[in-house]
Chain A
Amino acid sequence: MTENHTALYEQHKKAGASFTDFGGWQMPLKYSSELAEHHAVRRSAGLFDLSHMGEVWVTGPDAAAFLDYALAGKLSAIAVGKAKYSLICQEDGGIIDDLITYRRPSSEEGSEKFLVVPNAGNAPVVAAALAERARSGKAGGFDVVVEDASAETSLIAVQGPNAEEILLTLVPAEAHALVTGLKYYAAVEVGITVNGTAQDLLLARTGYTGEDGFEIYIPNEDAAGLWDALLETGAIRGLIPAGLAARDSLRLEAGMPLYGNELSREGNAYAAGLGPVVSLAKESDFVGKAALTEIKSAGAGTTTRRKLVGLKGLGRRAARGHYPVLKDGAVIGEVTSGQPSPTLGYPVALAYVDVEHAALGTVLDIDLRGKTEPFEVVALPFYKRDK
Protein backbone atom coordinates (compact mmCIF):
# COMPACT_ATOMS: atom_id res chain seq x y z
CA MET A 1 0.00 0.00 0.00
CA THR A 2 1.31 3.46 -0.79
CA GLU A 3 2.35 5.61 2.10
CA ASN A 4 0.48 8.89 1.95
CA HIS A 5 1.40 11.89 4.03
CA THR A 6 -1.06 14.65 4.87
CA ALA A 7 -0.20 18.32 4.37
CA LEU A 8 0.42 18.44 8.15
CA TYR A 9 3.07 15.71 8.25
CA GLU A 10 5.90 18.15 9.08
CA GLN A 11 3.78 19.68 11.87
CA HIS A 12 3.32 16.24 13.39
CA LYS A 13 7.00 15.40 13.15
CA LYS A 14 7.92 18.68 14.82
CA ALA A 15 5.46 17.93 17.61
CA GLY A 16 7.16 14.58 18.23
CA ALA A 17 4.36 12.36 16.94
CA SER A 18 4.75 8.64 16.60
CA PHE A 19 3.09 7.50 13.40
CA THR A 20 0.92 4.61 12.38
CA ASP A 21 -0.44 3.39 9.08
CA PHE A 22 -4.16 4.01 8.74
CA GLY A 23 -5.90 3.26 5.47
CA GLY A 24 -2.64 3.75 3.58
CA TRP A 25 -1.82 7.02 5.37
CA GLN A 26 0.97 7.75 7.81
CA MET A 27 -1.02 9.37 10.61
CA PRO A 28 -0.02 10.54 14.09
CA LEU A 29 -0.87 7.82 16.60
CA LYS A 30 0.01 10.00 19.58
CA TYR A 31 2.20 12.98 20.35
CA SER A 32 3.11 12.31 23.95
CA SER A 33 0.57 10.38 25.97
CA GLU A 34 -2.63 9.14 24.36
CA LEU A 35 -4.31 9.25 27.78
CA ALA A 36 -3.42 12.93 28.21
CA GLU A 37 -4.75 13.59 24.71
CA HIS A 38 -7.96 11.73 25.48
CA HIS A 39 -8.52 13.65 28.72
CA ALA A 40 -7.72 16.97 27.02
CA VAL A 41 -10.58 16.41 24.57
CA ARG A 42 -13.01 15.55 27.39
CA ARG A 43 -11.88 18.41 29.64
CA SER A 44 -10.61 21.20 27.37
CA ALA A 45 -9.78 20.58 23.71
CA GLY A 46 -7.85 18.45 21.26
CA LEU A 47 -6.64 19.19 17.73
CA PHE A 48 -6.87 16.42 15.14
CA ASP A 49 -5.54 16.04 11.62
CA LEU A 50 -8.24 14.17 9.70
CA SER A 51 -6.89 14.95 6.27
CA HIS A 52 -6.86 11.25 5.45
CA MET A 53 -10.64 11.38 5.25
CA GLY A 54 -12.11 11.72 1.77
CA GLU A 55 -14.03 14.63 0.26
CA VAL A 56 -16.25 13.84 -2.70
CA TRP A 57 -18.38 16.60 -4.23
CA VAL A 58 -21.64 15.67 -5.89
CA THR A 59 -23.19 18.50 -7.90
CA GLY A 60 -25.85 18.90 -10.56
CA PRO A 61 -29.60 19.12 -11.09
CA ASP A 62 -30.09 15.48 -9.99
CA ALA A 63 -27.70 15.52 -7.01
CA ALA A 64 -30.34 15.03 -4.30
CA ALA A 65 -32.22 12.35 -6.22
CA PHE A 66 -28.95 10.65 -7.05
CA LEU A 67 -27.79 10.47 -3.44
CA ASP A 68 -31.20 9.11 -2.45
CA TYR A 69 -30.46 6.30 -4.90
CA ALA A 70 -26.79 5.79 -4.09
CA LEU A 71 -26.98 5.99 -0.27
CA ALA A 72 -29.21 4.38 2.34
CA GLY A 73 -30.50 7.61 3.87
CA LYS A 74 -32.91 10.20 2.51
CA LEU A 75 -30.39 12.87 1.59
CA SER A 76 -32.93 14.92 -0.39
CA ALA A 77 -34.62 15.68 2.94
CA ILE A 78 -31.68 17.54 4.43
CA ALA A 79 -31.84 21.31 4.28
CA VAL A 80 -29.08 23.39 2.76
CA GLY A 81 -26.49 23.93 5.49
CA LYS A 82 -27.25 20.70 7.31
CA ALA A 83 -25.46 17.36 7.40
CA LYS A 84 -26.53 13.74 7.72
CA TYR A 85 -24.84 10.51 8.76
CA SER A 86 -25.44 7.81 6.18
CA LEU A 87 -24.24 4.54 4.69
CA ILE A 88 -23.30 3.46 1.21
CA CYS A 89 -24.40 -0.15 0.84
CA GLN A 90 -23.99 -3.01 -1.58
CA GLU A 91 -27.00 -4.61 -3.29
CA ASP A 92 -26.96 -7.30 -0.57
CA GLY A 93 -27.06 -4.69 2.19
CA GLY A 94 -23.36 -5.02 3.07
CA ILE A 95 -21.77 -1.75 4.12
CA ILE A 96 -19.18 -0.20 1.78
CA ASP A 97 -18.63 2.75 4.12
CA ASP A 98 -20.27 5.10 6.57
CA LEU A 99 -20.36 8.73 5.49
CA ILE A 100 -21.25 12.22 6.50
CA THR A 101 -22.98 14.18 3.75
CA TYR A 102 -23.30 17.96 3.84
CA ARG A 103 -25.80 19.86 1.73
CA ARG A 104 -24.24 23.08 0.50
CA PRO A 105 -25.76 26.06 -1.26
CA SER A 106 -25.35 25.87 -5.03
CA SER A 107 -24.30 28.91 -6.97
CA GLU A 108 -26.01 27.61 -10.06
CA GLU A 109 -29.73 27.94 -10.62
CA GLY A 110 -31.45 24.54 -10.67
CA SER A 111 -28.38 22.73 -9.42
CA GLU A 112 -27.74 21.03 -6.08
CA LYS A 113 -24.49 20.55 -4.25
CA PHE A 114 -23.41 17.99 -1.64
CA LEU A 115 -20.14 17.10 0.01
CA VAL A 116 -19.78 13.40 0.84
CA VAL A 117 -17.10 12.49 3.39
CA PRO A 118 -15.97 8.85 3.39
CA ASN A 119 -13.33 7.18 5.57
CA ALA A 120 -9.67 7.36 4.65
CA GLY A 121 -9.03 4.00 3.05
CA ASN A 122 -12.47 3.95 1.45
CA ALA A 123 -12.38 7.30 -0.33
CA PRO A 124 -11.36 5.96 -3.78
CA VAL A 125 -13.84 3.08 -3.51
CA VAL A 126 -16.68 5.39 -2.51
CA ALA A 127 -15.86 7.91 -5.24
CA ALA A 128 -15.78 5.12 -7.81
CA ALA A 129 -19.03 3.60 -6.54
CA LEU A 130 -20.75 6.99 -6.69
CA ALA A 131 -19.52 7.61 -10.23
CA GLU A 132 -20.65 4.15 -11.29
CA ARG A 133 -24.08 4.56 -9.69
CA ALA A 134 -24.47 7.96 -11.34
CA ARG A 135 -24.02 6.30 -14.74
CA SER A 136 -26.04 3.14 -14.19
CA GLY A 137 -28.65 4.21 -11.61
CA LYS A 138 -31.26 5.20 -14.12
CA ALA A 139 -31.77 5.22 -17.85
CA GLY A 140 -29.41 7.79 -19.32
CA GLY A 141 -27.71 8.27 -15.97
CA PHE A 142 -28.19 10.93 -13.29
CA ASP A 143 -27.35 14.51 -14.26
CA VAL A 144 -24.57 14.92 -11.68
CA VAL A 145 -20.83 15.44 -11.52
CA VAL A 146 -18.90 13.36 -8.99
CA GLU A 147 -15.58 14.93 -8.14
CA ASP A 148 -13.10 13.40 -5.68
CA ALA A 149 -11.32 16.34 -4.05
CA SER A 150 -9.68 14.23 -1.33
CA ALA A 151 -6.14 14.78 -2.57
CA GLU A 152 -6.40 18.59 -2.43
CA THR A 153 -8.43 18.93 0.76
CA SER A 154 -7.25 18.84 4.36
CA LEU A 155 -9.52 18.40 7.35
CA ILE A 156 -8.72 19.70 10.82
CA ALA A 157 -10.91 19.03 13.85
CA VAL A 158 -11.07 20.95 17.11
CA GLN A 159 -12.95 18.88 19.66
CA GLY A 160 -13.81 19.45 23.29
CA PRO A 161 -15.69 21.82 25.59
CA ASN A 162 -13.33 24.72 24.77
CA ALA A 163 -13.52 24.19 20.99
CA GLU A 164 -15.93 27.04 20.33
CA GLU A 165 -14.00 29.54 22.43
CA ILE A 166 -10.76 28.59 20.66
CA LEU A 167 -12.25 28.83 17.20
CA LEU A 168 -13.82 32.22 17.88
CA THR A 169 -10.38 33.74 18.42
CA LEU A 170 -9.71 33.15 14.70
CA VAL A 171 -13.09 34.42 13.49
CA PRO A 172 -13.82 38.14 12.93
CA ALA A 173 -16.24 39.49 15.57
CA GLU A 174 -19.01 40.14 13.05
CA ALA A 175 -19.03 36.44 12.15
CA HIS A 176 -19.09 35.08 15.73
CA ALA A 177 -22.83 34.53 15.62
CA LEU A 178 -22.36 32.17 12.66
CA VAL A 179 -20.19 29.98 14.86
CA THR A 180 -22.06 30.23 18.15
CA GLY A 181 -25.38 29.69 16.36
CA LEU A 182 -24.14 26.70 14.40
CA LYS A 183 -26.13 23.61 15.36
CA TYR A 184 -24.79 20.06 15.69
CA TYR A 185 -24.59 18.43 12.24
CA ALA A 186 -24.71 21.78 10.46
CA ALA A 187 -22.04 23.58 8.46
CA VAL A 188 -21.37 27.11 7.30
CA GLU A 189 -18.81 29.02 5.27
CA VAL A 190 -17.10 31.33 7.71
CA GLY A 191 -14.10 33.64 7.60
CA ILE A 192 -11.24 32.11 9.56
CA THR A 193 -7.96 33.95 9.89
CA VAL A 194 -5.08 31.92 8.48
CA ASN A 195 -1.66 33.45 7.90
CA GLY A 196 -3.03 36.90 8.61
CA THR A 197 -5.97 36.88 6.21
CA ALA A 198 -9.57 35.79 6.74
CA GLN A 199 -10.47 32.96 4.40
CA ASP A 200 -13.93 31.53 3.85
CA LEU A 201 -13.72 27.93 4.97
CA LEU A 202 -16.33 25.23 5.41
CA LEU A 203 -16.85 24.83 9.14
CA ALA A 204 -18.96 21.93 10.40
CA ARG A 205 -20.18 21.23 13.92
CA THR A 206 -19.47 17.53 13.73
CA GLY A 207 -17.05 15.10 15.27
CA TYR A 208 -16.17 11.61 16.34
CA THR A 209 -15.40 12.12 20.01
CA GLY A 210 -18.70 12.53 21.84
CA GLU A 211 -17.79 16.15 22.65
CA ASP A 212 -18.83 19.45 21.16
CA GLY A 213 -16.48 20.40 18.37
CA PHE A 214 -15.82 21.48 14.84
CA GLU A 215 -14.34 20.13 11.66
CA ILE A 216 -12.77 22.56 9.21
CA TYR A 217 -12.25 21.77 5.52
CA ILE A 218 -9.29 23.64 4.08
CA PRO A 219 -7.13 23.52 0.93
CA ASN A 220 -3.87 21.65 1.54
CA GLU A 221 -1.69 24.72 1.04
CA ASP A 222 -3.32 26.55 3.97
CA ALA A 223 -3.63 23.61 6.35
CA ALA A 224 -0.33 24.12 8.17
CA GLY A 225 -1.14 27.78 8.76
CA LEU A 226 -4.50 26.94 10.33
CA TRP A 227 -3.01 24.09 12.38
CA ASP A 228 -0.32 26.35 13.81
CA ALA A 229 -2.80 29.16 14.48
CA LEU A 230 -5.15 26.83 16.36
CA LEU A 231 -2.31 25.39 18.43
CA GLU A 232 -1.10 28.85 19.31
CA THR A 233 -4.45 30.29 20.30
CA GLY A 234 -5.59 27.03 21.88
CA ALA A 235 -2.58 26.43 24.11
CA ILE A 236 -3.79 28.65 26.95
CA ARG A 237 -7.24 27.11 26.59
CA GLY A 238 -5.98 23.59 27.18
CA LEU A 239 -5.76 22.49 23.54
CA ILE A 240 -3.15 19.91 22.59
CA PRO A 241 -2.72 17.91 19.38
CA ALA A 242 -4.33 14.49 19.64
CA GLY A 243 -3.58 11.38 17.59
CA LEU A 244 -5.51 8.42 16.31
CA ALA A 245 -5.09 6.49 19.58
CA ALA A 246 -7.09 9.14 21.43
CA ARG A 247 -9.53 9.43 18.53
CA ASP A 248 -10.21 5.68 18.81
CA SER A 249 -10.69 5.66 22.59
CA LEU A 250 -12.94 8.75 22.39
CA ARG A 251 -15.18 7.35 19.67
CA LEU A 252 -15.41 4.00 21.46
CA GLU A 253 -16.58 5.67 24.69
CA ALA A 254 -19.11 7.57 22.58
CA GLY A 255 -20.33 4.25 21.14
CA MET A 256 -19.53 5.26 17.58
CA PRO A 257 -18.75 2.49 15.08
CA LEU A 258 -15.47 2.37 13.17
CA TYR A 259 -15.45 1.11 9.62
CA GLY A 260 -13.38 -2.07 9.46
CA ASN A 261 -14.12 -2.90 13.11
CA GLU A 262 -17.88 -2.69 13.57
CA LEU A 263 -18.91 -2.02 9.97
CA SER A 264 -18.06 -4.15 6.96
CA ARG A 265 -19.32 -5.50 3.68
CA GLU A 266 -20.25 -8.73 5.48
CA GLY A 267 -22.41 -6.97 8.08
CA ASN A 268 -25.43 -4.74 7.66
CA ALA A 269 -27.01 -1.64 9.16
CA TYR A 270 -29.55 -3.50 11.29
CA ALA A 271 -27.04 -5.83 12.93
CA ALA A 272 -24.81 -2.81 13.59
CA GLY A 273 -27.61 -0.93 15.35
CA LEU A 274 -27.80 1.62 12.54
CA GLY A 275 -31.35 0.79 11.43
CA PRO A 276 -32.54 4.40 11.78
CA VAL A 277 -29.89 5.47 9.24
CA VAL A 278 -31.65 3.42 6.55
CA SER A 279 -34.67 5.08 4.99
CA LEU A 280 -36.85 2.27 3.70
CA ALA A 281 -39.68 4.81 3.64
CA LYS A 282 -38.22 6.90 0.85
CA GLU A 283 -40.28 6.36 -2.29
CA SER A 284 -37.37 5.96 -4.66
CA ASP A 285 -35.32 2.81 -5.00
CA PHE A 286 -31.81 2.77 -3.58
CA VAL A 287 -28.90 0.38 -3.76
CA GLY A 288 -29.47 -2.31 -1.14
CA LYS A 289 -33.15 -1.49 -0.54
CA ALA A 290 -34.58 -4.91 -1.40
CA ALA A 291 -32.04 -6.76 0.73
CA LEU A 292 -32.33 -4.36 3.66
CA THR A 293 -36.13 -4.57 3.55
CA GLU A 294 -35.89 -8.34 3.99
CA ILE A 295 -33.26 -8.06 6.71
CA LYS A 296 -35.39 -5.61 8.65
CA SER A 297 -38.54 -7.69 8.44
CA ALA A 298 -36.62 -10.76 9.61
CA GLY A 299 -35.48 -8.79 12.68
CA ALA A 300 -32.22 -7.08 13.57
CA GLY A 301 -29.41 -9.57 13.74
CA THR A 302 -31.40 -12.56 12.59
CA THR A 303 -29.80 -12.83 9.17
CA THR A 304 -26.31 -12.44 10.61
CA ARG A 305 -27.44 -14.25 13.79
CA ARG A 306 -25.49 -11.64 15.71
CA LYS A 307 -25.91 -7.99 16.59
CA LEU A 308 -23.67 -5.30 17.95
CA VAL A 309 -23.74 -4.67 21.70
CA GLY A 310 -21.86 -2.58 24.22
CA LEU A 311 -20.01 -4.50 26.93
CA LYS A 312 -18.79 -3.18 30.26
CA GLY A 313 -15.92 -5.04 31.88
CA LEU A 314 -16.65 -6.16 35.44
CA GLY A 315 -12.96 -6.92 36.04
CA ARG A 316 -9.90 -4.81 35.34
CA ARG A 317 -8.62 -6.41 32.18
CA ALA A 318 -9.71 -5.13 28.79
CA ALA A 319 -11.00 -7.02 25.77
CA ARG A 320 -9.48 -6.33 22.36
CA GLY A 321 -10.62 -6.77 18.78
CA HIS A 322 -11.28 -10.39 17.71
CA TYR A 323 -11.36 -11.83 21.25
CA PRO A 324 -14.06 -14.52 21.54
CA VAL A 325 -17.19 -13.83 23.61
CA LEU A 326 -18.46 -16.83 25.58
CA LYS A 327 -21.61 -17.95 27.34
CA ASP A 328 -21.24 -21.05 29.52
CA GLY A 329 -17.97 -21.79 27.76
CA ALA A 330 -19.40 -21.73 24.22
CA VAL A 331 -18.35 -19.05 21.72
CA ILE A 332 -21.36 -16.81 21.02
CA GLY A 333 -19.68 -13.71 19.67
CA GLU A 334 -16.57 -11.71 18.89
CA VAL A 335 -15.20 -8.40 20.10
CA THR A 336 -14.79 -5.74 17.40
CA SER A 337 -13.25 -2.96 19.51
CA GLY A 338 -12.19 -2.83 23.13
CA GLN A 339 -9.92 -1.13 25.58
CA PRO A 340 -9.85 0.39 29.04
CA SER A 341 -12.05 3.50 29.06
CA PRO A 342 -9.91 6.43 30.23
CA THR A 343 -12.95 8.50 31.19
CA LEU A 344 -15.01 5.82 32.90
CA GLY A 345 -12.21 3.83 34.50
CA TYR A 346 -13.38 0.39 33.44
CA PRO A 347 -12.92 -1.70 30.29
CA VAL A 348 -15.41 -1.16 27.48
CA ALA A 349 -15.93 -3.13 24.29
CA LEU A 350 -18.16 -3.43 21.27
CA ALA A 351 -18.93 -6.96 20.15
CA TYR A 352 -21.20 -8.87 17.84
CA VAL A 353 -23.02 -11.49 19.92
CA ASP A 354 -25.77 -13.98 19.18
CA VAL A 355 -29.11 -12.18 19.38
CA GLU A 356 -30.36 -14.44 22.19
CA HIS A 357 -27.53 -13.18 24.42
CA ALA A 358 -27.77 -9.51 23.44
CA ALA A 359 -30.27 -8.30 26.06
CA LEU A 360 -29.16 -5.49 28.37
CA GLY A 361 -27.89 -6.83 31.68
CA THR A 362 -26.72 -10.17 30.28
CA VAL A 363 -23.36 -11.17 31.73
CA LEU A 364 -21.02 -12.79 29.23
CA ASP A 365 -17.41 -13.93 29.43
CA ILE A 366 -14.62 -12.76 27.16
CA ASP A 367 -11.61 -14.96 26.61
CA LEU A 368 -8.64 -12.70 27.36
CA ARG A 369 -5.76 -14.79 26.07
CA GLY A 370 -6.78 -17.95 27.88
CA LYS A 371 -8.37 -16.46 31.00
CA THR A 372 -11.95 -15.24 31.01
CA GLU A 373 -13.33 -12.06 32.51
CA PRO A 374 -17.02 -11.19 32.91
CA PHE A 375 -18.56 -8.36 30.87
CA GLU A 376 -22.12 -7.04 31.07
CA VAL A 377 -24.23 -5.99 28.09
CA VAL A 378 -24.96 -2.29 28.59
CA ALA A 379 -26.72 0.47 26.66
CA LEU A 380 -24.71 2.62 24.25
CA PRO A 381 -23.10 5.09 24.33
CA PHE A 382 -20.83 4.24 27.25
CA TYR A 383 -20.15 7.94 27.72
CA LYS A 384 -22.44 10.88 27.12
CA ARG A 385 -21.37 14.42 27.83
CA ASP A 386 -23.45 16.76 30.02
CA LYS A 387 -25.14 19.31 27.81
Chain B
Amino acid sequence: MAQIAPELKYSAEHEWIAADGAGPATIGVSAVAADALGDIVYVDLPEVGAAVTAGETCGEVESTKSVSDLYSPVTGEVVEVNDVVVTEPAVINSDPYGAGWLFKVAVTQEGPLMSAEEYAAANGGEL
Protein backbone atom coordinates (compact mmCIF):
# COMPACT_ATOMS: atom_id res chain seq x y z
CA MET B 1 0.00 0.00 0.00
CA ALA B 2 1.18 3.50 -0.81
CA GLN B 3 3.07 5.26 1.96
CA ILE B 4 1.90 8.56 3.34
CA ALA B 5 4.57 10.71 4.91
CA PRO B 6 3.22 11.68 8.35
CA GLU B 7 5.03 15.04 8.59
CA LEU B 8 3.43 16.52 5.48
CA LYS B 9 0.11 18.16 4.68
CA TYR B 10 -1.99 17.14 1.68
CA SER B 11 -4.51 18.60 -0.73
CA ALA B 12 -7.62 16.83 -2.00
CA GLU B 13 -5.90 16.73 -5.42
CA HIS B 14 -3.09 14.57 -3.98
CA GLU B 15 -0.33 17.17 -3.74
CA TRP B 16 1.75 17.23 -0.62
CA ILE B 17 3.23 20.34 0.90
CA ALA B 18 6.11 20.77 3.32
CA ALA B 19 6.11 24.15 4.99
CA ASP B 20 7.95 25.21 8.11
CA GLY B 21 6.54 28.74 8.00
CA ALA B 22 9.96 30.33 7.46
CA GLY B 23 11.20 29.56 3.91
CA PRO B 24 9.29 28.64 0.78
CA ALA B 25 7.01 25.59 0.80
CA THR B 26 8.02 22.47 -1.11
CA ILE B 27 5.33 20.72 -3.16
CA GLY B 28 5.10 17.26 -4.67
CA VAL B 29 2.58 14.52 -5.43
CA SER B 30 1.65 11.82 -2.94
CA ALA B 31 2.66 8.18 -3.34
CA VAL B 32 -1.05 7.38 -3.60
CA ALA B 33 -1.28 9.58 -6.70
CA ALA B 34 2.02 8.38 -8.16
CA ASP B 35 0.93 4.74 -7.78
CA ALA B 36 -2.45 5.43 -9.34
CA LEU B 37 -0.86 7.20 -12.29
CA GLY B 38 1.64 4.43 -12.94
CA ASP B 39 5.13 4.99 -14.27
CA ILE B 40 5.53 8.73 -14.78
CA VAL B 41 7.26 9.65 -18.02
CA TYR B 42 6.68 13.37 -18.40
CA VAL B 43 6.07 16.28 -16.10
CA ASP B 44 5.19 19.84 -16.99
CA LEU B 45 5.97 22.26 -14.15
CA PRO B 46 5.25 25.97 -13.69
CA GLU B 47 8.19 28.29 -14.39
CA VAL B 48 10.20 30.08 -11.76
CA GLY B 49 8.52 33.43 -11.17
CA ALA B 50 5.07 32.17 -12.15
CA ALA B 51 2.13 32.97 -9.90
CA VAL B 52 0.20 29.91 -8.78
CA THR B 53 -3.22 29.86 -7.15
CA ALA B 54 -4.43 27.32 -4.64
CA GLY B 55 -6.77 24.82 -6.27
CA GLU B 56 -5.88 25.83 -9.83
CA THR B 57 -3.91 23.79 -12.36
CA CYS B 58 -0.27 24.70 -12.75
CA GLY B 59 1.11 21.81 -14.80
CA GLU B 60 0.60 18.16 -15.61
CA VAL B 61 1.97 14.76 -14.82
CA GLU B 62 1.89 12.10 -17.49
CA SER B 63 2.40 8.37 -17.10
CA THR B 64 2.47 5.56 -19.63
CA LYS B 65 -1.20 4.97 -18.90
CA SER B 66 -2.72 8.38 -18.29
CA VAL B 67 -2.26 12.06 -17.73
CA SER B 68 -3.33 14.17 -14.82
CA ASP B 69 -3.38 17.88 -14.06
CA LEU B 70 -1.19 19.25 -11.33
CA TYR B 71 -2.99 21.55 -8.90
CA SER B 72 -1.18 24.00 -6.69
CA PRO B 73 -2.15 23.49 -3.05
CA VAL B 74 -1.09 27.05 -2.24
CA THR B 75 -1.17 30.58 -3.64
CA GLY B 76 2.12 32.36 -4.18
CA GLU B 77 5.14 32.69 -6.45
CA VAL B 78 7.20 29.78 -7.73
CA VAL B 79 10.78 30.29 -6.59
CA GLU B 80 12.39 27.01 -7.64
CA VAL B 81 11.55 23.96 -9.75
CA ASN B 82 13.10 20.50 -9.56
CA ASP B 83 14.98 19.96 -12.84
CA VAL B 84 15.72 16.38 -11.82
CA VAL B 85 12.10 15.28 -12.23
CA VAL B 86 11.86 17.04 -15.59
CA THR B 87 14.73 15.03 -17.01
CA GLU B 88 14.04 11.89 -14.97
CA PRO B 89 10.32 11.76 -14.13
CA ALA B 90 10.56 8.20 -12.74
CA VAL B 91 12.01 9.73 -9.58
CA ILE B 92 8.46 10.83 -8.71
CA ASN B 93 7.49 7.15 -8.49
CA SER B 94 10.59 5.97 -6.67
CA ASP B 95 10.91 8.81 -4.15
CA PRO B 96 7.75 10.95 -4.20
CA TYR B 97 8.43 12.69 -0.87
CA GLY B 98 12.18 13.16 -1.37
CA ALA B 99 14.08 13.54 -4.65
CA GLY B 100 10.75 13.57 -6.49
CA TRP B 101 9.64 16.97 -5.16
CA LEU B 102 8.26 19.25 -7.89
CA PHE B 103 8.53 22.95 -7.08
CA LYS B 104 8.84 25.49 -4.26
CA VAL B 105 6.53 28.41 -3.63
CA ALA B 106 6.83 31.60 -1.59
CA VAL B 107 3.38 31.19 -0.08
CA THR B 108 0.97 34.08 0.39
CA GLN B 109 -1.97 31.82 1.23
CA GLU B 110 -2.55 28.11 1.74
CA GLY B 111 -5.51 26.35 0.19
CA PRO B 112 -7.56 23.80 2.13
CA LEU B 113 -5.13 21.15 3.37
CA MET B 114 -5.46 17.87 5.22
CA SER B 115 -3.26 16.28 7.83
CA ALA B 116 -1.56 13.01 6.89
CA GLU B 117 -4.12 11.14 9.00
CA GLU B 118 -7.04 12.81 7.24
CA TYR B 119 -5.50 12.21 3.83
CA ALA B 120 -4.83 8.54 4.64
CA ALA B 121 -8.38 8.09 5.89
CA ALA B 122 -9.77 9.56 2.66
CA ASN B 123 -7.41 7.80 0.25
CA GLY B 124 -6.42 4.53 1.84
CA GLY B 125 -2.69 5.09 2.09
CA GLU B 126 -0.44 3.76 4.82
CA LEU B 127 1.02 6.10 7.41
Contacts and interface: CB of A to CB of B under 8 A. Distances in A.
B39 A33 contact: yes
B38 interface: yes
A340 B61 CA distance: 13
A340 B38 contact: no
A171 to B, nearest CB: 34
A348 to B, nearest CB: 11
Nearest to B41: A340
Contact of B93 (A33, A245, A249, A340): A33
Interface string B31-50: 00001001101101000000
A34 B62 contact: no
Nearest to A320: B67
A18 B64 CA distance: 15
Instruction: Name the residue among A18, A320, A339, A342 with the largest chain B CB count within 10 angstroms.
Output: A339
A317 B93 contact: no
A245 B38 CA distance: 9
Contacts of B38: 30, 33-34, 245
Range of interface residues on A (Cβ < 8 Å): 10 to 19
Contacts of A340: 41-42, 62, 64
A369 to B, nearest CB: 7
Interface in B62-116: 62, 64-67, 90, 93
A35 interface: yes
Interface string A326-344: 0000000000000110100
A183 interface: no
A318 interface: yes
A318 B39 contact: no
Instruction: Name the residue among B39, B60, B67, B93 with the largest chain A CB count within 10 angstroms.
Output: B39
Instruction: Name the residue among A35, A36, A316, A320 with the largest chain B CB count within 10 angstroms.
Output: A35
Given A34-B39, A318-B67, A340-B64, 13 more contacts: A30-B38, A33-B38, A34-B65, A35-B64, A36-B39, A38-B64, A249-B64, A317-B42, A318-B42, A320-B66, A340-B62, A369-B60, A369-B67
Interface of A: 18, 30, 33-36, 38, 245, 249, 316-318, 320, 339-340, 342, 369
Top 6 closest A-B pairs, CB basis?
A35-B39, A340-B41, A33-B39, A34-B38, A245-B65, A339-B64
